Structure 1
Amino acid sequence: MWDTSKDYRILIAVKSKELFMRTVQTGAFRGHWNKKMALESADNMDAHFQSLLYSYLEGNELSNSPELSKLEEEANYVIHYLGGDEWNHIFLNKAPKEEREKTEENIAKVQFFLNTILGLRHRLSLGSINDPIIGIDIFVGEIMSVSKHPNADSLMICNVNLKKRAITVVTNNLDVKEGNHVAVAMLPPQSFMDIASEGMFLGVNGVVLKDVKGKLGELPNGIPMESLNDTRNLIEGFLQKK
């Protein structure tokens, strides 16, 4: 019997919802949107999380449970109350210049929450796996552009194509270049000197993997197991945050 109360995928989803609540309650998104109903829709997820956590169903059974469908429904309500499918572009366009970087960070946190909930069905369908890595997505990405961080000489800002969308990744590996195929762990967004990073490149001994095999936006093929160690530690740290 699978102990769903310790399933990393569900635990990360619960934590991402807490991140969303803090972000929306404290973030100053501008424009016409329904903050009250967005928060209420997210809050409605708690009962469904509890049902999943104590269901003791196997992973593939969890992926077909009615509770998961209800979580997806609430996530889509959140998108609606944020302003629809273009909510992130609307908020960014409405942000004054002096608030743009903070708005980008808050948008990234909300996007992480939505992707975590709406990608939960796929992760659960992979079966009963007891590994922190299963709690987040890892995608093949192509670096489209690289620029120096404006506030830190030891950091680079990368625009990364994941096929369905592009993300920003901040890295301390100064050798990354346009055209590199990388493996990106979609971790909770973190700000590095006022620039929000939406993921982390996988690497070994501090060197980013730059010729990763696999289709863009999908799970990479044949990555070294040791390249996952830092990601595991960061996931555990995220779950322990108050």
Structure 2
Amino acid sequence: MWDTSNDYRLLVAEKSVELFLRTVEGANLKGKWNKKQALQAARKMTSEIQTLYYSYLEPSAIVTTPQIDLLEEQATEIVEALGGNSWHRQFPELANREEKPKLEESLAKIKFFLNTILGLKDRISLGEIEDPVMGIDIKKGEILSVSKHPEADQLLVCNVNLHQRAITVVTNDLEVREKNQVAVALLPPEVFMGITSEGMFLGAGEGILKDVKGDLGKLPHGIPLEALNEARNLVENFLQ
């Protein structure tokens, strides 16, 4: 019998709902969107996740439950409430320069939440695996551009292509270059001196992995287990 109450995928999903609720309640999102509808749909998610917590079903059975379908439907409803598939574009257009750093952090948190919920079925489909990194996505990316952090000489800001979307990752590896093939852990966003990082590059030993194999936007191949250690720690910290 699988202990669903300790499944990291469900634990991170529930925590991401809490993050979304806090973010939307406190964010200054200017534009045409339905805050009430977004909050109501998110609150419904908590009961669906709680039902899965105490189901003690095998992962293969969880993915066929109505709760999984309802979570995806509620996530879709939230996207619509935020303004549709291009929701993340309207808010920056209406923000002034002073508002943008905080807005970027809020939008990154919303994206993390939606990605966590909409990717839940695929992660659970991987089976009975007791590992904190199962709660998040690990994807292969390609670095599109690299620039110096405006406030920190020992940090670089990377724009990373994940096939279906691009994200910003802040790294302290000063050897990263355009076209590096990297493994990215899509973690809860973190702000580094005014720049929001939406993930973390995986690395083992000196520096990050820069020649990762696999399809862009998919789970990379042949990642050393030790490269996952920091991501594990950050997932555990998120859950505390």
Query: TM range, normalised to the smaller chain?
Result: over 0.9
Aligned to 1:227: 227
Aligned to 1:3: 3
> What's 2:171 paired with?
171
Letter in 1 for 2:25: Q
Distance in 2, Cα, partners of 1:158 & 1:227: 19
CA offset digits 1:147-170 (Å, max 9, x no partner): 000011110000000010000000
RMSD of Structure 2 on Structure 1 (CA) = 0.7
Unaligned runs of 5+ in 2: none
Who is 1:90 aligned against?
90
1:47-68 CA-to-partner distances (Å, cap 9, x unmatched) read 1011100000011211111111
Deviation string for 1:17-58 (max 9, x for gaps)?
000001000110111111111111100111101110000001
Unpaired stretches in structure 1, ≥5 consecutive residues: none
Q: Distance in 1 between matches of 2:206 and 2:168?
A: 19
Displacement after TM superposition at 1:206 (Å): 4.7
Show the counterpart of 1:76. Answer: 76
Q: Deviations over 1:121-163 (max 9, x none)?
A: 1001111111111111000000000000001111000000001
Q: CA deviation at 1:205?
A: 2.6
- Runs of 4+ in structure 1 over 2 Å off: none
Per mean C-alpha deviation after superposition, the further-off stretch among 96-105 and 139-148 is 96-105
Instruction: Name the residue aligned to 2:209.
Output: 209
The one-letter code of the counterpart of 1:36 is K
Map of 2:16 onto structure 1:
16
Tell me the SS of whatever aligns to 1:138.
strand
Q: Report the secondary structure of 2:98's partner residue.
A: helix
TM-score (norm 2): 0.99
Aligned equivalents of 1:191 and 1:130: distance in 2?
Answer: 29
User: How many residues get paired?
Assistant: 240
- Aligned partner of 1:174: which letter? L
Q: Matched residue of 1:182: which SS?
A: strand
Following TM superposition, by how much is the alpha carbon of 1:221 offset from its aligned partner in structure 2, in angstroms?
A: 0.5
Distance 2:191 2:77 in 1: 28
SS of 1:55's equivalent in the other structure is coil
User: Structure 1 residue 228: deviation in Å?
Assistant: 0.4
Distance 2:48 2:188 in 1: 22
The separation in 2 between residues aligned to 1:170 and 1:218, in whole angstroms, is: 21
Measure the CA separation in 2 of the matches of 1:238 and 1:46.
17
Matched residues, percent identical? 59
Letter in 1 for 2:60: N
3-state SS of paired residue (1:203): coil
**Residue aligning to 1:41:** 41
